[in-house]
Amino acid sequence: MTATKSEPKPVAAAPAMDSERLVVHQHSDLIYWWVVWAYGLACALWTWLGGEYVTVSPGHKQVLIYPHAWMGISFVFLVLFVLVFTNARARGVKSLVLFLSLTVLGLVVQLTAGWTEILQYFPLLLVHMNLAFYLLFSGVLLAAWLFVVLGTDHSVYWEFGPNSIAKKYWFTDAAESYTSPQVETSRQSDDIFVHRLLGLWFLGFGTGDIEVRFSTAGSGQKAYFLRNVWRAAHVEKEINRLVA
């Protein structure tokens, strides 16, 4: 009786560790303007539900306006707030002191005189915007927000892997790739108004700025500064885990 030798079964190869990649996108400051178009659409809804038709001039079509001036004033102040604080950042302790100062000032005015009584001293401070303004302003801003945040901000991205860093351009298919075992990351202090409030930190998101420094064989030290990265703390942790 002849014994047959069974052939060894093929063993499945283990997945390569270097197949894991982390793709990171940075965003422009327009990402924080979501609160403006969202509030503008809410104002349009309130105007449509509780507005009154007003004739601006004889012979012209009536416009629908919300009867109370607080809506227009709040919209103007919100636009100015986002415009100022997305361009003039107050980081760390400065942002905390500024946030507490504005909060205390608002509470003191409300508890002593009241904002309604204060506004009565400014009879010309009656800001009314019709339904068409809210829809036009918010609609155009929303279209620009979607085009930039979901479009142009994704045209350039960074890809991190084990001992590898690459900057890639989606539209032109160009890329800058580096292999470096020495990588350092640092994250700047958050701005409470921008990175926390407008970045939806209270919903588990939040944004931040990350600087990635590494050494290359040809050009020595090189650094990438990634602005307005979603969940920056988690992204920085993953970068350090992958490139270590």
Does residue 209 carry a pLDDT above 50? yes
Distance CA 176, CA 44 (A): 46
Q: Residues near 52 by Cβ (< 8 Å), separated by ≥ 6?
A: 64, 65, 66, 67
Cα separation, 153 vs 140, in Å, equals 18
pLDDT tops 80 at residue 13: no
Q: What pTM was computed for the model?
A: 0.78
CA distance linking residue 125 with residue 68, whole number of Å: 12
Q: Compute, in degrees rounded to 10, the torsion defined by CA atoms 227, 228, 229, 231.
A: 140
Q: What is the mean pLDDT of residues 12-25?
A: 63
202: confidence class by pLDDT, cuts 50, 70, 90: confident
pLDDT digits over 153-167, tens only? 999 999 988 878 888
How many other CB atoms are there within 10 angstroms of residue 130's CB atom? 20
What beta strand segments (E) does 92-161 contain? Answer: 156-161
- State the Cα–Cα distance between residues 85 and 78, nearest whole angstrom: 11
Q: Which residue has the higher pLDDT, 235 or 182?
A: 235
The first and second tokens of residue 178, run together, are 């580096």
